[in-house]
Structure 1
Amino acid sequence: MEILLEEFYKTDLHIDKFNDRKVYLEEPLYKYDTLSKKNEIISAKSYQINGISQSGKTKLVKNYLLNLKKNSYLYIDCNDVRIDIDELNTNLSQYCSLNKIDTLVLDNYKPKINFVNVSQLLITCEEQLELGELESIQLFPLDYEEFLAYEHKYDSSALNHFFQLGGFPSMHKIHSDGRNLYIQKTLKYSLNDMEFDILKFCAKMMSQKISAYTIYERLKSIRKISKDKLYKSFENLVSKNYIHTLEKFEHEKATKKIYLCDISLKSALSVDKHFGRLFENMVFLELLKSKTECYYDDEIDFYLPNNDEIILCMPFADERSLFKKIEHIEAFIFTRNISKITAITMNREGAISHPLSKVVMLPFDIWALGD
C-alpha cells in the first residue's frame, strides 16, 4: 500500500480549463514560521462535497489543489481498484504524518475508510453523510448562468444549446451523436439496476404527479420486483438528488411532482417528447439551485410563499393565453394575496394588468439571470 500511496503523492494533477462555479472551497489561512522558514496552516476548513456523478465534484477539488504547494497535499481516488481499504486504513495516517500532508482528498469516498489527522480533509461522494466535523457543500449540475461560462459567445443560440446539452459540464466535450449513450453509461455505472429502471420511468413522467407506489405498479409488470426494495431505491435516488420531489402546498400527503436532476436525462432515457414538461423541469432546477422555497398547486406550477409569487411555465404564451390562465387561478390569487405572477416563456416579454398582482411575461434567460 505504501507504494501505491507514493504513486498518488507523486502524480501530477491535470484538469482542462476550469470555469468558476457558484460554490467554492475557502483557501487555508497561513502564518510564516521563522524557525522552519515555511508557511504553516493555522486554519483550514474541511469539506464533504456532495453531488451526482458528472456534476463537477472532482474538477472542483483538483482546481483547489492546484493552487496549493505540490508536496502539501495527497489526492486519492477511492474508486481505484488497486486500493485495499484495510491496508489503506493501516498505512494512511503514518504516511500523511511522515510526508507532512496538510490537505488530504478522498475523492469518491467510501464510508469504510477511516479519517486521519490532517489540517484539512476533503471528501467527495454522492449522498450527504452525517459528518458533523465536515462542512457540507451540495454541487448540482450547471445552472443556466454557470452554463454560459462554457459558451464561446452569449447570443440567442445559448438557450437552445442549453436545451441540447443540459447541465453536465462534460457534455461540452462530447459530440452530439454520443451524448445520450455517454449519459446512459454514466448512470449505469453510478446506479444499481433497480435505481436505473426507476430513473428511466421518471424520465417518461417528468414534471408530473407520481408516487413510488405508482412506479412499483408499472415496473412489476415488466420485471420481478420487491415493493420494499423499490421504495428503498426510490428514496436513494431522492437522497442522492438524481430525482427531486415537490409537495403540493399545504397538502403534505398529496402525491408529489417528480423532476429530474438534469433536463438532458429526458432524451437520454426516454423517446417521449413533451417540451412543456421539459421546460417546467428546467425552471424547477433554477428555483432549486437558488434555494427558493416553492410548492405546486392545482393549475399552478410553482407557488413561492415567501415572495407571495406564482410562477407559470408557459414557453409559447402570449397576453391572451396568459389572461385565460389567470382567470382559472383567480381564487388562489385572491386567497393567498399574490402580489406577483411571473410567466416564464421562451422569448416573449410583456405584461398585463391585474387588480391585485403584478403580472409579467419573462423569457427564461432573462429570468434565470435576474436577481
Structure 2
Amino acid sequence: MNTLLDEYYRYDLHNIGFTERKQSINDESTFIYGIAQSGKTSLIKSYLLNHKKSTYLYLDCRDSRLEVDELNRSLPQFCRDNKISILALDNYNEAINLFELEQIILSGEIALELPFQMIHLDLLDYEEFLAFESKFDGTALNHFFQLGGFPAMHRIPSEDRVLYLQSILNRSLEPIEFSILAQASKMVTQKVSAFNLYERLKGERKISKDKLYLHLQSMFERGYLKSLEKFNHPSAVKKLYLCDIAIKHALTLQKHFGRIFENLVFSELDKHKIECYYDEGIDFYLPQRGQIVLASPFANEHALFKKVEALEGFIVSNRVREVIAVTMNLESTLSHPIARIEMIPFERWALGDDT
C-alpha cells in the first residue's frame, strides 16, 4: 500500500482550464458534496495547487487498488512520515478511517455528519455558466439551453456530449436509477408520484415497488431529481424536475421547449435556495417575496393579462405584490389594478436581483 500511496504523493496534479466557482475551499477541514460532474474534483485540485506539493496528498477513492483495510493501517503513518498537512480523499468511502490532521478535504454525493465545513457544490447557474463561456455575446443563452450546467460540457465536442453524459450517468447510477432518470426525463414539470413512475417502469423491467421507491428517494437525496410541493398542500402530488436540462437532451428525443424552459427557471430558483411552490395555473409562488413567477418563453401581453385575471383570487388572498413572466426575449410592464406585472427576459431575470 505504501508503494501506491507514494505513487499518488509524487503525482503532479493537473487542473487544466479551471474556472473559479462561487464556492471555494478555505483552510478548514471540508466536505464537498454534489452530484457526479458538478466540479468537486476541480475545486479540490485548485485548492491543493495553491500549496506546496510536499504538504498534501490527493487520493481518488474510486481507485480499485486502494484496499480499504490496508489503507487504514498505512495512511496515518504515511502522512506522519512525509509531514503531510492536507489530505484530500476524493469520492470518499466511509469505510476509510479519518484521523487527526491539520486539514482533511473529502468529497461525495451526500453530506455526512462530520465536524467539517460543508460545501454543497451545485451545477452551474446561469451567472457561473457565463464565466465558462469563451466569449459573452448574444449566443450565450442558446448555448446554455444546449449545454446546461455541467461544467465539463464546455470541453466536450458537440458531437460527443450526449454519449459523454450518458456514460457519466451510467457510471454514477445503479441500472434501475438510470431507468428512473430516463423515464423522469419524459415527465419533467408534470405532477408525478412514485406510483406513476412505477407504473411506467414495470412494463420495461421487473422491479418491486419497494425497490423503486428506495432508489427514487436516493436520487432525490443526492440531487439528481428535484420536486416541487403544492402551496399549502404538502400531501398533494409534487411536480417533477431534473437537476439539469442536459439530462433530458441526453436521455430522450422529446423536444418540448416549454417544459425545458420551465425546468431552467426552476433550476435557477433552486440553486439560489429560494423557497417556492406551485399551485393551479401558477408555475412558482414565492411566498417570502410575495411573487408569482411564470415560465412563459413566448408570452404576449394579451395572453399574460388573461392568465393573471384567472389568478386574481390567489393573488388577493395571498397578497401577491408582483407577477413576473420570465420570457425568452420579450420585456414589458403591464398595468393591472391588483398586482405589478412584468415580462422579463430569462437572461436579465437570472442575472438580476429577482433570483
1:168 aligns with 2:131: no
Instruction: Write the deviation string for residues 243-283 of structure 1: whole angstroms up to 9, x where unpaired.
Output: 01110011010001111011101110011121011001001
SS of 1:208's equivalent?
coil
Instruction: Write the deviation string for residues 89-117 of structure 1: whole angstroms up to 9, x where unpaired.
Output: 11111111111111110000011111121
1:344-355 correspondence to structure 2 within 5 Å: 344-355=326-337
Q: Is the 8 A contact 1:246 1:295 kept in 2?
A: yes
1:284-295 correspondence to structure 2 within 5 Å: 284-295=266-277
2:9 match: 9
Q: Alignment partner for residue 206 of structure 1, among 178, 182, 188?
A: 188
Task: Provide runs of 4+ in structure 1 moved above 6 Å.
Answer: none
* Structure 1 residue 356: Cα displacement: 2.4
1:125 match: 108
Aligned residue type for 2:149 = G
Partner Cα separation in structure 2 for residue 348 and residue 187 of structure 1? 36
* Structure 1 residue 130: Cα displacement: 2.1
1:181 aligns with 2:163: yes
Partner Cα separation in structure 2 for residue 129 and residue 117 of structure 1? 18
Instruction: Write the deviation string for residues 120-168 of structure 1: whole angstroms up to 9, x where unpaired.
Output: 111000112222x112111111111111011122121100000111111
What TM-score do you get using the length of structure 2 for normalisation? 0.98
* Structure 1 residue 207: Cα displacement: 1.1
1:235 match: 217
Q: Is the 8 A contact 1:337 1:356 kept in 2?
A: no
Partner Cα separation in structure 2 for residue 127 and residue 288 of structure 1? 17
5+ residue gaps, structure 2: none
SS of 2:123's equivalent?
coil
Q: Alignment partner for residue 255 of structure 1, among 207, 219, 237?
A: 237
SS of 1:149's equivalent?
helix
Partner Cα separation in structure 2 for residue 118 and residue 101 of structure 1? 8
Q: Is the 8 A contact 1:92 1:116 kept in 2?
A: no
Q: Alignment partner for residue 51 of structure 1, among 34, 40, 63?
A: 34
Partner Cα separation in structure 2 for residue 324 and residue 180 of structure 1? 40
2:248 match: 266
2:207 match: 225
What is the RMSD computed on CA atoms of the aligned residues? 0.8
5+ residue gaps, structure 1: 29-44
1:8-157 correspondence to structure 2 within 5 Å: 8-26=8-26, 28=27, 45-131=28-114, 133-157=115-139
Partner Cα separation in structure 2 for residue 77 and residue 9 of structure 1? 12
Q: Is the 8 A contact 1:47 1:135 kept in 2?
A: yes
Q: Alignment partner for residue 342 of structure 1, among 317, 324, 329?
A: 324
* Structure 1 residue 214: Cα displacement: 0.9
What TM-score do you get using the length of structure 1 for normalisation? 0.94
**Seq. identity, %:** 54
Q: Is the 8 A contact 1:166 1:262 kept in 2?
A: yes
* Structure 1 residue 338: Cα displacement: 0.4
SS of 2:204's equivalent?
coil
Partner Cα separation in structure 2 for residue 367 and residue 248 of structure 1? 23
Q: How many residue pairs end up in the alignment?
A: 353
Partner Cα separation in structure 1 for residue 174 and residue 351 of structure 2? 36
SS of 2:333's equivalent?
strand
Partner Cα separation in structure 2 for residue 68 and residue 249 of structure 1? 49
Q: Alignment partner for residue 284 of structure 2, among 280, 302, 305?
A: 302
Partner Cα separation in structure 2 for residue 355 and residue 153 of structure 1? 43
Q: Is the 8 A contact 1:19 1:150 kept in 2?
A: yes
Aligned residue type for 1:195 = E
